[in-house]
């Protein structure tokens, strides 16, 4: 019977013996992350073709649920940069209602994956595939922000890569220099703003103390505030959240069940799989990064997937977008001293409080400033140094990384992951096939008419060609071939069938086949496949010495072992 994973959020364990010191640490970390998350949540939603409040409500609802129900002490969930390209494409092709339904279906799928204890499967995705599609998504995010950064008058950006380039090129004459200045200024400020986790501790001198105090306020918030103030004071004609969306509602999100059309839902298989796949990969990779940053208990991948599932099912009921674990906010949470999931719940409540109090101020935020911030996010998201390191690796790894990267940019994530996995599997099969060898084995005393070969590696469908050519390598006068199998670590059904055919071919040439010293897995499969009946039970022996004794008796004139059985076969 299939064992299901027990639903047990990490919060329950963390609250046992919860102390006042932990509460203070979690409150401080939650408030910090909440401030960091505010501009990012709006920016991710706008870049995805949605309203800014949809990103904020996702960060509030999904962020609270992921922390309360997840399997990590410090994971912060919410809208993520990795989803920008995916959500924009789905929304453009299928519409907002179907995007919400696909997100809910992905939530169900994520929950089932965790329930069936399949969280560890995500770790089997090769690192080359992850690097390739991550860098590809980063390129697409950067490309999608050029419209707002340059202030171009494009009514709606297409979702296709080449169509985006064409649209940008054809509207370059509409560039808004004021928007460009605000965007580049915001980008520069976020880049140079001091990071508290990079500073010496304790600070030395007045300048270091000032930097440490300044670093308590996220650079993204400072950039948005200065850009908004500059645009208002100078009266710059740039597009803002208010001019495009009419502002952000100063209220709680309302419950709204998306319209369900079964004929339309049947077309959402690929969007659902894409959201679920990316959500699972991002959240579990983020949780692993968090594990390496702290001394807290390691995350439970299955519980984490179940929490992601609940969050992605519930958030769309309030107009939310797909959510997952976010590395930048989780890292900030850890570095701010978070100890339990309470910090993530505080982060969500902080965002909610900001919306209820300060939502009217968002109408003046320039979209060019958000674009500058997202360019910084995209740059940090990509692992560009991996491209420089490709020259250190062989062709298979280069092909997987570059292939996944190009396919993500030109087509989409699902195609990139599928093709990347196929390439990785193909190269693995080729490599394992090359590792399999059959070589002559020297004997202390030559035995006339006996040839001994030694098998190395795994005999599987990708390596049987080397076994099929073995009869042509037999020296004239050979009566017995001993195949020493001690270093054969694995055997599959194709390998067994090839051994059967080898035995028949050798028997027609008057040569007996003896298998010596097979390991447990190959021996078990040989017996279950009926090779004993074909060769004769006496032709599968435990040691090389037994095999040589049997071969010597055969050469001396006794009937070849297994002859009757072979003839009947």
Mean pLDDT over 476-490 rounds to: 91
Q: Is the confidence at residue 560, as pLDDT, over 60?
A: no
382 pLDDT band (50/70/90 cuts)? confident
- pLDDT at 563 > cutoff 50: no
The pLDDT score that the predictor gives to residue 412 is: 81
Confidence at residue 98, expressed as pLDDT on a 0 to 100 scale: 92
448 phi and psi, to 5 degrees?
-60, 135
Among the residue ranges 226-240, 253-267, 396-410, the one predicted with the least confidence is: 253-267
Average pLDDT over residues 4-33: 91
Compare 439 and 207 and report the one with higher pLDDT: 439
45, HSE (Cβ side, Cα atoms, 13 Å): 24
The pairing of beta strand 437-440 with beta strand 450-459: antiparallel
pLDDT digits (tens, 9 = 90+) for 420-432: 989 999 998 888 8
What pLDDT, on the 0 to 100 scale, is given for residue 198? 56
Could you tell me where the DSSP H helices lie in 193-268?
205-214, 219-234, 241-245, 262-265
Given a cut of 80, whether residue 568 has pLDDT beyond it is: no
For residue 77, report the phi and psi dihedrals to the nearest 5 degrees. -105, 160
In the chain, domain spans = 36-156+166-238+256-384, 386-434, 436-568
C-alpha 8/C-alpha 461 separation (Å) is: 43
Q: Give the pLDDT mean for 27-45.
A: 90
pLDDT in tens, 392-405: 999 999 999 999 99
Residue 228 has a pLDDT of: 93
pLDDT tens per residue across span 173-221: 999 999 999 999 999 999 988 766 555 556 566 777 666 666 667 788 8
Q: Are 115 and 80 in contact, with CB atoms under 8 Å apart?
A: no
pLDDT for the residue 567: 39
Provide the pLDDT for residue 299: 92
The per-residue pLDDT for 44 is 93
pLDDT > 70: what percent of the chain? 94
Tokens 């649209």 sit at which residue?
Answer: 167
Per-residue pLDDT of 292-345, as tens digits, reads: 888 889 999 999 999 999 999 999 999 999 999 988 889 888 988 899 999 999
Q: Residue 309's pLDDT is what?
A: 97
Among 179-188, 313-322, 370-379, 437-446, the range scoring the smallest mean pLDDT is 437-446
pLDDT at 233: 92
Give the pLDDT band (50/70/90) at residue 531: confident
Tell me which residue of 500, 425, 444, 424 sits closest to 467, measured CA to CA.
500
The confidence score (pLDDT) of residue 82 equals: 86
What phi and psi values does residue 299 have, to the nearest 5 degrees?
-75, 160
Sign of CA dihedral 460, 466, 471, 474: negative
pLDDT exceeds 80 at position 111 = yes
CB atoms within 10 A of CB 270: 13
| Strand runs labelled E in 236-362 | 324-325
Q: Does residue 548 have a cis peptide bond before it, meaning omega lies within 30 degrees of 0?
A: no
The yes/no answer on whether domain 436-568 falls in CATH 3.30.750.24 is yes
Pick the range with the lowest mean pLDDT from 249-263, 375-389, 411-425, 516-530. 249-263
In this prediction, residue 214 carries a pLDDT of: 67
Number of helices (H) and strands (E) in the chain: give both, helices first.
27, 8
Return the sign of the alpha-carbon dihedral for residues 494, 500, 505, 511. positive
CA neighbor of 452 nearest in space, from 562, 546, 519 = 546
**Residue 47: pLDDT above 60?**
yes
pLDDT at 106 over 50: yes
**Residue 279's pLDDT is what?**
93
- 52 — pLDDT class (breaks 50, 70, 90): very high
DSSP 8-class letter at 4 = P
Confidence band, pLDDT 50/70/90 cuts, at residue 88: very high
Phi, psi of 366 (to 5 degrees): -70, 135
- Write the DSSP symbol of residue 318: G
Task: Examine the pLDDT at 112 and tell me if it is beyond 60.
Answer: yes
Alpha-carbon distance 20 to 235, whole Å? Answer: 49
Q: Kindly tell me if the per-residue pLDDT of 544 is higher than 70.
A: yes
Q: Are 499 and 467 within 8 A, CB to CB?
A: yes
Identify the pLDDT of residue 156: 83
pLDDT tens, position by position, 256-294:
887 777 777 778 999 999 999 999 998 998 898 888 888
Is residue 17 left, alpha or beta, with left meaning phi > 0 and alpha meaning psi from -120 to 50? left
% pLDDT > 90, the chain: 53
Determine the pLDDT at residue 367. Answer: 93
The average confidence (pLDDT) of the chain is 88
The confidence score (pLDDT) of residue 347 equals: 95
In the predicted model, what is the mean pLDDT of residues 127-140? 90
C-alpha 378/C-alpha 381 separation (Å) is 5
Strands of 245-347, DSSP E: 324-325
Number of neighbouring beta carbons within 10 Å of residue 466: 16
Give the mean pLDDT of 223-236: 92
| Structure-derived torsion over alpha carbons of residues 184, 188, 189, 191, reported in degrees to the nearest 10 | 140
SS (H, E, C) 132-156: HHHHHHHHHHHHHCHHHHHCCCCCC
């Amino acid at each position: 019977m299939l064992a299901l994973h027990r639903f047990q959020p990490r919060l329950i364990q963390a609250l046992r013996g919860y102390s006042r010191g932990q509460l203070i640490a979690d409150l401080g970390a939650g408030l910090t992350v909440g401030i960091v998350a505010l501009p990012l949540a709006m920016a991710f939603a706008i870049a995805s073709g949605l309203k800014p409040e949809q990103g904020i409500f996702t960060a509030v609802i999904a962020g609270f649920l992921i922390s309360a129900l997840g399997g990590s002490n410090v994971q912060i969930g919410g809208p993520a940069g990795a989803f920008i390209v995916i959500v924009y494409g789905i929304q453009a092709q299928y519409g907002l209602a179907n995007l919400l339904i696909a997100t809910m279906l992905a939530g169900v799928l994520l929950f089932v994956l965790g329930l069936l204890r399949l969280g560890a499967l995500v770790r089997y995705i090769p690192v080359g595939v992850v690097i390739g599609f991550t860098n590809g998504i980063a390129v697409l995010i950067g490309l999608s922000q050029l419209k707002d950064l340059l202030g171009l008058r494009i009514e709606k950006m297409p979702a296709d890569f080449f169509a985006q380039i064409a649209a940008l090129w054809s509207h370059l004459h509409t560039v808004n220099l004021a928007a460009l200045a605000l965007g580049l200024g915001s980008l520069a400020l976020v880049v140079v703003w001091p990071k508290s986790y990079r500073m010496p501790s304790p600070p030395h001198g007045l300048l270091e103390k000032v930097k440490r105090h300044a670093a308590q306020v996220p650079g993204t918030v400072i950039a948005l505030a200065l850009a908004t103030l500059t645009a208002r004071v100078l009266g710059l004609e740039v597009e803002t959240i208010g001019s495009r969306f009419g502002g952000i509602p100063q209220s709680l999100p309302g419950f709204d069940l998306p319209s369900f059309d079964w004929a339309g839902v049947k077309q959402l298989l690929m969007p659902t799989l894409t959201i679920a796949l990316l959500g699972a990969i991002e959240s579990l990779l983020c949780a692993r990064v968090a594990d390496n940053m702290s001394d807290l208990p390691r995350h439970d991948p299955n519980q984490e997937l179940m929490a992601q599932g609940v969050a992605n099912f519930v958030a769309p009921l309030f107009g939310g977008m797909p959510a997952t674990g976010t590395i930048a906010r989780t890292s900030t949470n850890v570095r701010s001293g978070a100890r339990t999931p309470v910090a993530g719940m505080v982060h969500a409540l902080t965002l909610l409080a900001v919306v209820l109090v300060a939502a009217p101020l968002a109408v003046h935020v320039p979209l060019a400033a958000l674009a500058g911030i997202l360019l910084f996010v995209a740059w940090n998201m990509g692992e560009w140094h991996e491209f420089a390191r490709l020259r250190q690796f062989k062709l298979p790894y280069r092909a997987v990384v570059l292939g996944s990267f190009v396919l993500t940019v030109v087509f989409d994530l699902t195609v990139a992951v599928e093709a990347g996995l196929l390439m990785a599997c193909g190269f693995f099969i080729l490599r394992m096939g090359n590792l399999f060898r059959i070589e002559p084995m020297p004997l202390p005393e030559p035995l006339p008419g006996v040839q001994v070969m030694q098998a190395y590696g795994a005999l599987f469908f990708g390596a049987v060609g080397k076994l099929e050519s073995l009869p042509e390598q037999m020296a004239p006068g050979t009566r017995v071939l001993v195949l020493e199998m001690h270093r054969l670590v694995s055997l599959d059904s194709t390998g067994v069938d090839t051994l059967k055919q080898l035995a028949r071919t050798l028997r027609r040439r008057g040569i007996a086949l003896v298998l010596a010293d097979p390991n447990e897995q190959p021996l078990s499969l040989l017996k279950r496949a009926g090779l004993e009946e074909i060769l004769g039970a006496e032709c599968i022996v435990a040691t090389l010495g037994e095999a040589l004794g049997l071969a010597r008796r055969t050469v001396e004139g006794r009937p070849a072992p297994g002859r009757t059985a072979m003839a009947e076969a």
